[in-house]
Amino acid sequence: MNLPTFEFTPALVVAIPLLGAFLTPLVSRINDKLRNIFVIIIMGLTGFFVFLLAYDVLAKGIKVYVFGANTADTIQSLENGLPLLRILFEVDAMSVLMAGISVILGFVAVIYSWSFMKENTGLDKYYTLFLLMIAGMLGMELTGDMFNFFVFLEITSIASCALIAFWTNKGKAVDAAFKYIVISAIGALFILFAVALLYSQYNALNIAVLGSMIQYTFLDKIALILLIVALLMKAGIVPMHMWLPDAYSRAPSSVTVALIGATLASLYGVLRVCFTLYGNSLSNICNNLNINVHSMLGTLLILLAIITIILGVIMALRQINFKRLIAFAAIAELGYMFLGIGTGLTVLGNPELAVYGMTALKGGIFHIINDALDVGLLFLVAGAIYYATRENSLNRMGGLARNLKYTTVFFLIGLLAVSGMPPMNGFASKILIYESTYQLSPILSIIAILCSILLLAVFVKVFYSAFMGPAQPKFKDVKEVPKSMLIAMGIITCIIIFIGLFPQFVINTVVTPAAEALVNFGGEKGFYINEIIESFTLGGV
Amino acid sequence: MILDLDLVQIIHIVLPILIVVASILAVVLKDLLAAAIAVAAMSLLLSLEFYILQAPDVAIAEAGIGACLTTAILIIAIRGTKRMEEDA
Amino acid sequence: MSMRNAVAAIFFAIVCVFFVFSALMIHSFGVPDATDMDDRIIGGFDMENNTYYGAQNETGANNVVTSVVFDYRGFDTLGEATILFTAVAGVVLVFRRLKK
Amino acid sequence: MIYNIPYIAVAALILIGLYAVVFKRNLIKMVIGITLIESGVNLFLITLGYREGSIAPIYTSSPGGIMALPVPQALTLTSIVIGVAVLALMLSLVIHIYRHYGTLDARKIGGNEE
Amino acid sequence: MSGMSKIVKTISSITFPFVFIYGLYVIAHGHLTPGGGFQGGAIVASGCAMILVAYGSVWTMGKIKEKNLSILESLGGFCFILLAFLGLGFGTGFFNNLFVGNEFLFGETPKFNSVAANFNTAGVIPLMNFAVGLKVIAGLFAIVLVMAYASSIREDEK
Amino acid sequence: MLLFIAILDTFKLLLKTLSTNSGFWNPLVWCSVIVIAFLIVYSIRSFGNKEYKKDNEQVKTFLSGNPEYEKEQMHVKSSNVYWGFTETLKWVYNLLNKMHTGNVSDYVLWFVVTMAIFFILIGVMI
């Protein structure tokens, strides 16, 4: 199979949603239906180009796009050690994986909002902001420049903040949006401060160039901490998670699904900072003292992850609001990812356990995919129930399985997947995490398994109280939700079942290249920049 | 002079101190309108500092956006809400 | 409440110490450590190839900052323009009429 | 040491802003605090780009001589516009919050919810 | 926000053209002197904000609809992206400064270290300055106008 | 023929077993085992199913002698489902509720606290 490769696919992946966002207000003047179709086409086109890019990157390795110059100059400057002046898009397997997740979530959410948002005003702005948010996420994931990362982070934050406040007649929604914007503004400003600290020492902004030069001075450590903590806050790890349940539960469901993508993009930022920007010492492990920083950072991440898992599950058990419950479950799921990533970070420097570190990292990355799909499906189901019954509180639900047959099936699948029951996809990634953390410390693994069981209990409660039980008289006229919402849920369910049945296929094709792109041993100038030079000289651009 | 500084260096010492004083005022003042004016003063001093640090482009931008539009938006918001900060 | 403020003050003080310390650790004022990227942008004369390089030659603009904003880092400027667009859309969305 | 006073001012600006966000209860005061943090970061970027005895990086104004670093100035321009965008959105949300809750006290609006 | 006294209105309407022209000057000479699209746009937008304060938001909203500002802003953004895409079409990539070196519009290159301010230089940069200037004027003014109008409408309801 | 081989190759790719360096996981094997187990259970169940009678006294609901409620009222509400668990862990929940104040300043305060801890652990210790 030979797909056509364009040298400017990375730019188009971001440019298409941006252009679509600029055109949406004009298109919506003509017709509402046309606008919806237009947005879906734009998302589909973006997805197509992400697919092309993924195919290209997975087959040929890292792909680079230079903005505004002929590439020959850039090759020369890289080879001769001259500074990089322009903004580069550097796309490796990890970026492509995250971009794929964002696009899938965005596509599904756009289809879902066709009927879900039908009765609201201001839909042209809604779709504009939606496309901008997707473009921001994609930019964060593809860019190779620290300042550009900050710019796209801000685009994502502002767009999602305005979307969280979409139902402005509800005070809680506006409140949640304000909390979100305060948190993200402060986080982004500290990220900018860290970028400036790095710039002050090395006079460079490119991630690869910085990564090859970092010396672990005091200022470097300060910058590392600022970056990591701000990104962790944006990813919603305990104890900085409090904005997440507010934002997730107050936003319209379709926006929440896209917000998951934004959160995961911040998580991607953490991965990039830990493994690429500060990953230089990982490449020459044995005789380097700086590895202490990594094991310390990994230990801290594991600690936070365990707290996250426990707190998320325990808080979820008590929630009555459907979406808030799922939000706490999403926090717990986030803990699993960080458990895998943190174990990888701690153990990779240790030659005896490095194999298990790699497995843990793979499990963490695989869990990113699974979490996005599972939690996204659950949020879509919650939105469907809200659409059908105008009810958010679990206390006032009951017996809905009679009216919403398909939705019940989708929820059941999402329930099994999110709580890690075999044979769903959640189990496949969780078993990787359990078995590799067991090698580090059995207690971690035991806590993770116990909390997974508790998570199942939480969702059994939801299933019982919302769908089971006798038919409630007030829900007599409730009908099945419209087709577009069912299609959206169906797409995600199909992907979940596919991944659940063939996990090794996904791991071999997508996850392992991503993990290996993050942890690349060997190389003199720093692995990332080395690979860029190679890809230039091989004509991979 | 003990420190033996020339004029530019003195300005580099005095202006940051003034900026910090203005920012402290902006936080401390109970009257929000006064705080907004303090923010405007801080922005103006900041733009002067930018000019002295050889960044005229940024100085113009900061004077236009920071000192004028930010203040306008803040005052609009204060008019739309409440002027005084409540006590504990 | 005062308990919260006391705990907050302690941690705030720690952060303060680190920030001030890092402010003292940065290279002294007016003497940057490394300037190779910016010097390359500002321009000069290349002795080996006997050519001029830099912003004035490559972009034709006398204002180096403008040439950085619109040429070398033009993509950032696109992002910035997008942010302005996003903010306008957001403000209009927040203040929209809720009834049709 | 005396030359590092601008950096100390940067740290002070950021910390004062952070203080306003953490310890003040009024929402508009918190927004002002975020503005202060942003100003601090901008000042930091510009200070990094200053070279002693340099001229502004514009060939038209004066020839010869060393120039201040242009890249931080470009970054700061971007950062300023981002700042005003975030500020506008935040303040419009504050106006809405005031309409819904009738107060600007951060403790009263959130509330403890299940 | 209702308007202010007649003196303020008169003075601001006399001052406004000067501010406007100064802003346009800053935009146009962005590639030669300090300034550019953002700075000039901010100056013009602050002049517009002055008019807004003097005459009141309801009057201003009657004169300039927010929708028209949105169209202007979209136009500016679209021109900017179009200029960026031109590089993709004719040159090698996004944001390629393709007019430089041609004896075409703004195509001349100044001599190194030259102080002379030749307006006809810098390729697409002046055009981009205009596009961004339009966008920034419309965007910033739209933000201020919408916020002022929304909060003043509320006052009338009370 | 070529197409057939290609399809076969794809299947081989799909059917690989996931190994975790200390164990393995194959969902298809698991599914087939579950199906077999289900069949066995079903056959065992069908042995006793004949003796079960529907119109008997033992089918009726018995609530300690109290009268039976209407069906609509029998639904246990969500907040009562894990009553024992939440009652036992009440102190934990009180603590957590105190933590989730819903105040933005506290959110930022947690950020500052985490930053301070990271500063001390990474900036000073190492």
Residues of C in contact with F125 (CB under 8 A): none
| pLDDT in the model for residue B88 | 52
- The whole-angstrom separation of Cα D31 and Cα D86 is 10
Phi, psi of C93 (to 5 degrees): -65, -40
Is C29 in Cβ contact with B57 (below 8 Å)?
Answer: no
Best of C64, C67, C95 to disrupt the D interface (most D CBs within 10 Å) is C64
pLDDT the model gives residue A45: 92
Given F102, F104, F105, which is nearest D113 (Cβ)?
F102
What value does the CA radius of gyration of chain E take, rounded to a whole number of Å?
19
Question: Is C29 an 8 Å CB contact of chain B?
Answer: yes
Q: Which of C59, C80, C91 sits opposite E123 (nearest CB)?
A: C59
A88-91 and C44-46 strand pairing: unpaired
Q: Which residue of C has its CA nearest to F117?
A: C11
Low-confidence ranges of chain A (pLDDT < 50): 1, 283-288, 522-526, 538-541
Beta partners for residue F18, in sequence order:
F25
What is d(CA A198, CA A205) in angstroms, rounded to the nearest whole number?
Answer: 8
CA–CA–CA angle D52, D53, D56 (5° rounding): 100
- β strands within A288-424, DSSP E: none
| Among candidates F21, F31, F100 on the partner chain, residue whose Cβ is nearest the Cβ of A356 | F21
- Token pair listed for E51: 């008019």
**Residue B54 confidence class, pLDDT cut points 50, 70, 90:** confident
Higher pLDDT, B73 or A523: B73
Beta bridge partners of C46: C51
Residues of the domain holding C71: 31-94
Q: Report the candidate in B20, B32, B21, B16 with the shortest Cα–Cα distance to residue B73.
A: B32
CA distance A438 to F22: 10
Bridge-based pairing state of the strands F18-19 and F24-25: antiparallel
- Structural domain of A428: 292-501
Identify any residues that bridge with A486 across adjacent strands, giving them in sequence order. none
Decide if B60 is inside a domain: yes
At residue D16 the predicted structure's pLDDT band, cuts being 50, 70 and 90, is very high
Of residues F22, F74, F96, nearest to A315 (C-beta): F96
Chain B residue whose CA is closest to D29: B27
Range in A10-24, A129-143, D98-112, E84-98 with the lowest mean pLDDT:
E84-98
Q: Assign F40 a pLDDT band (cuts: 50, 70, 90).
A: very high
The alpha carbon of residue A247 and the mean position of all alpha carbons in its chain are separated, in whole angstroms, by 16
Rounded distance between C-alpha atoms, residue E122 and residue E126, angstroms: 7
Instruction: Give me the residue from B24, B54, B81 closest to D94, CB to CB.
Output: B81
Cβ–Cβ below 8 Å for B12 and C63:
no
Q: Measure CB to CB from residue B53 to each of D3, D50, D81 and give the nearest one.
A: D50
**Is C23 inside a domain boundary?**
no
CA distance D18 to chain F (A): 9
Helices A218-235 and A291-318 meet at what angle, rounded to 10? 20
Average pLDDT over residues D74-79: 90
A68, amino acid identity: G
Quote the radius of gyration of chain C (alpha carbons, Å). Answer: 24
- Are C37 and D55 in contact by the 8 Å Cβ rule? The answer is no
State the Cα–Cα distance between residues A125 and C93, nearest whole angstrom: 6
Count of C-beta atoms within a 10 Å radius of residue F57: 7
Q: Which residue of D has its CA nearest to A175?
A: D97
- Reduce the DSSP state of residue E60 to 3 states and report it: helix
Cα of D24 to nearest chain C Cα, Å: 11
Kindly state the DSSP code that residue A474 receives in the 8-state scheme: G
Whether chain C has a CB inside 8 Å of the CB on B4: the answer is no
Residues A511, A367: Cα–Cα separation, whole Å:
10
**Token digits for A181?**
């914007």
Res. D74: pLDDT tops 60: yes
Give chain A's domain count: 1
Residue A183 located in a structural domain? no
Sign of the CA dihedral running C60, C62, C66, C69: positive
What does the pLDDT look like over E101-149, one tens digit per residue?
Answer: 565 666 666 666 666 666 666 777 888 888 888 888 888 888 888 888 8
Decide: C52 and E78 in contact? Cβ < 8 Å: no
How much is the pLDDT for D3?
A: 66
Interface test with A, best of D96, D101, D103, D104 (most A CBs within 10 A): D96
More confident of the two residues F61 and A348? A348
Q: Inform me whether the pLDDT recorded for F65 exceeds 70.
A: yes
Interface test with E, best of C56, C84, C85, C97 (most E CBs within 10 A): C84
Contact yes or no for C54/C43 (Cβ under 8 A): yes
DSSP H or E run through F19? strand F18-19
Give the integer Cα–Cα distance in Å for A242 and A183.
Answer: 10
Residues of E in contact with C95 (CB under 8 A): 146-147, 149-150
Chains contacting C (3 or more CB pairs within 8 Å): A, B, D, E, F
Residue E54: HSE in the Cβ half-sphere, 13 Å Cα cutoff: 17
Owning domain of residue D42? 2-52+68-109
Using pLDDT thresholds of 50, 70 and 90, give the confidence band for residue D106: confident
Q: What is the pairing mode between strands F24-25 and C51-53?
A: unpaired
Lookup result for tokens 């406004």: E16
Which tens digit of pLDDT belongs to each residue from B10-51? Answer: 888 888 899 999 999 999 888 889 999 999 999 999 999 888
Q: Which residue of B has its CA nearest to C2?
A: B88
CB < 8 Å to D91, chain E = 147
* Chain F contact present for C4, CB below 8 A: yes
Residue range of the domain that includes B64: 31-81
- Residues A16 and A6: their CA atoms lie apart, in Å, by 15
Q: Tokens 């940024």 — which residue?
A: B58
Mind listing the pLDDT tens digit for each residue in F72-97?
Answer: 777 778 788 888 888 898 998 888 88
E contacts of D63 (beta carbons < 8 Å): 113-115
Q: Do B and A touch, counting CB pairs below 8 Å (3 needed)?
A: no
Query: Is the omega angle on the peptide bond into residue A423 within 30 degrees of 0, that is, cis?
Result: yes
The CATH number of the domain holding residue D22 is 1.10.287.3510
**Closest to A428 (Cβ–Cβ): which among F14, F18, F72?**
F18
Tell me how crowded residue A18 is: count the other CB atoms within 10 A of its CB: 25
Distance (Å, whole) CA A219 – CA A217: 5
> What pLDDT sits at residue A524?
42
Question: What are the chain A neighbours of C40 within 8 Å (beta carbons)?
Answer: 82-83, 85
Is D22 an 8 Å CB contact of chain F?
A: yes
Cβ of E34 within 8 Å of Cβ of B79? The answer is: no
Residue C37 lies in a domain: yes
Nearest-CA distance A208 → chain C (Å): 15
- For residue A504, the one-letter residue type is Q
Count of alpha carbons within 13 angstroms of residue A152, beta-carbon side: 26
Closest residue of A to E86, CA-based? A68
C86 touches chain B (CB under 8 A): no
Is E112 an 8 Å CB contact of chain C? Answer: yes
For residue F112, the chain D residues in CB contact (below 8 A) are 18, 22
Longest CA–CA separation in chain D, Å = 67
Tell me the C-alpha distance between A297 and F28, whole Å: 38
Q: Are A418 and A493 in contact (CB under 8 A)?
A: no
Cα gap D36→B75, rounded to integer Å? 16
Look at chain C and count its residues.
100
Matching residue, tokens 């506290």: F106
Contact at CB, E42 and B80, closer than 8 angstroms? no
Which candidate from D75, D85, D86 shows the least CB-CB separation from A147? D75
In this prediction, residue A541 carries a pLDDT of: 37
Tokens 């990227």, located at residue? C37
Model confidence at E60, pLDDT cuts 50, 70, 90, reads confident
- Chain C residue with CA closest to D5: the answer is C29
Task: Quote the number of domains for chain B.
Answer: 1
Least confident of A33-37, E11-15, E97-101: E97-101
pLDDT by position in tens, chain C (length 100): 688 889 999 999 999 999 888 888 888 887 887 777 777 777 777 777 777 777 777 777 778 888 888 878 888 888 888 999 999 989 989 888 877 6
Nearest CA in chain C to A139: C79
Q: State the Cα–Cα distance between residues E147 and A4, nearest whole angstrom.
A: 49
Q: How many domains does chain C have?
A: 1
- The count of CB pairs under 8 A between chains C and E is 122
Q: Residue A68 in contact with residue A53, Cβ under 8 Å?
A: no
Tokens of A81: 């050690």
To test the contact with chain E by mutation, choose from D58, D60, D62, D75 the residue with the greatest count of E C-beta atoms within 10 A, namely D60
What interface predicted TM-score (ipTM) does this complex get? 0.92
Contact A103, A138 (CB under 8 A): yes
* CA gap A14, A46 in Å, rounded: 8
Domain that holds residue F96: 85-126
Size of interface B-C (CB pairs under 8 A): 5
Element (H, E) at A241: none
Q: Is residue C10 part of a domain?
A: no
CA–CA distance, A169 with A172 (Å, rounded to integer): 9
**Cβ separation of D42 and B61 shorter than 8 Å?**
no
Counted domains in chain F: 1
Are A401 and A335 within 8 A, CB to CB? no
Q: Which of A177, A189, A193 sits opposite D93 (nearest CB)?
A: A177
Q: Which residue has the tokens 């006809």?
A: E120
How far is Cα A219 from Cα A212, in angstroms, rounded to an integer?
Answer: 16
CA A250 to chain centre: 20
Q: Which amino acid is at E140?
A: L
E154 chain-B contacts, CB cut-off 8 A: 80
How far is Cα A500 from Cα A422, in angstroms, rounded to an integer? Answer: 8
CA–CA separation, B56 vs B59, rounded Å? 5
| Residue whose C-alpha is closest to residue A95's, from A281, A275, A255 | A275
Q: Across residues E46-66, what is the average pLDDT? A: 82
Closest in C65, C76, C84 to D70, CB measured: C65
